[in-house]
Each structure stands twice: as structure tokens, then as C-alpha cells.
């Protein structure tokens, strides 16, 4: 048997699990009225998973997932350094798309996977533009 994208064990890679969690989060947010404007906007200084609009607010969303909380909850994995990387990418996206004059918010969506359906939780305003909680 040759190793493919899922490796020899048939398990998904970290990247594949992350993309799957982003899909879950995007669909979950859309069902709640968010409009997904962009996905995975990357710059040399950082990446933002989802760019959304909720009403008149531009939301930059970091998606975190875990299959177990044994090592902590997914939302707890967003460090100040990670938050600042999201802010850098969000600023770049806003500059390119005329969004700097709009109200903005930095959210985290936690996706808990495991047996059964994923559990999703939204943390609006999880951090500010300085990366502080």
C-alpha cells in the first residue's frame, strides 16, 4: 500500500482536518446569517481562515478544532502571537477590499470533532486588533 494524502494509517493529515473544520465552521456561520466573503487569505505575515460579514460588521474568523479536550479546548489554542498573525492578514484583506472604514471584529470558531456530529461554538470578539483577549 502506498502512502497517499491520508498517510499509511488512513488518517487525515492535520491540514485536511483543518480544512474540514473550516468547512464545518463556514456552513455553521452561513446558517446563522453570516456571509462568507473569503477563505484562507494568506500573507507572509499571517493567515485568516474566514472573512465574513454579519450585518454591517466585517468578521475575521480563526477556526480551531480538536478531537479531544484532553490537551485543552480548541479556543484556548489561540495565542496572542496567533491572534496577531490573524490581525496582520485581516488588515491586508481589508486594505485590498476597502474594508478599513467598516466595523471589524475578530472571532474564533471552535469545532470539536469526534464520534457523531461536530460541536461548534462561536466566540465573538475573541481578541482585539492588538491580539489581546
Q: What is the DSSP letter of 95?
A: H
Give domain 14-127's CATH number out of 3.40.50.12780, 3.40.50.300, 3.40.1350.10, 3.40.190.10. 3.40.1350.10
CA distances 100 to 44, 81, 92, Å, are 20, 22, 10
| Sites in the chain below the pLDDT cut of 70 | 1-10
The predicted pLDDT at position 115 comes to: 84
Angle (CA) 82 20 113, round 5° = 85
The predicted pLDDT at position 49 comes to: 97
The predicted pLDDT at position 91 comes to: 96
Amino acid at each position: 500500500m502506498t502512502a497517499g494524502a491520508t498517510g499509511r494509517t488512513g488518517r487525515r493529515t492535520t491540514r485536511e482536518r483543518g480544512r474540514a473544520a473550516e468547512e464545518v465552521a463556514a456552513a455553521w456561520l452561513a446558517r446563522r446569517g453570516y456571509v462568507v466573503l473569503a477563505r484562507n487569505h494568506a500573507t507572509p505575515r499571517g493567515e485568516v481562515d474566514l472573512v465574513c460579514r454579519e450585518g454591517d460588521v466585517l468578521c475575521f474568523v480563526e477556526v480551531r478544532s480538536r478531537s479531544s479536550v484532553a490537551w485543552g479546548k480548541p479556543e484556548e489554542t489561540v495565542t496572542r502571537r496567533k491572534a496577531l498573525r490573524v490581525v496582520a492578514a485581516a488588515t491586508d484583506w481589508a486594505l485590498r477590499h476597502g474594508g478599513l472604514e467598516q466595523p471589524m471584529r475578530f472571532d474564533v470558531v471552535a469545532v470539536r470533532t469526534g464520534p457523531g456530529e461536530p460541536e461548534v461554538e462561536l466566540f465573538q470578539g475573541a481578541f482585539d486588533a492588538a491580539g489581546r483577549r
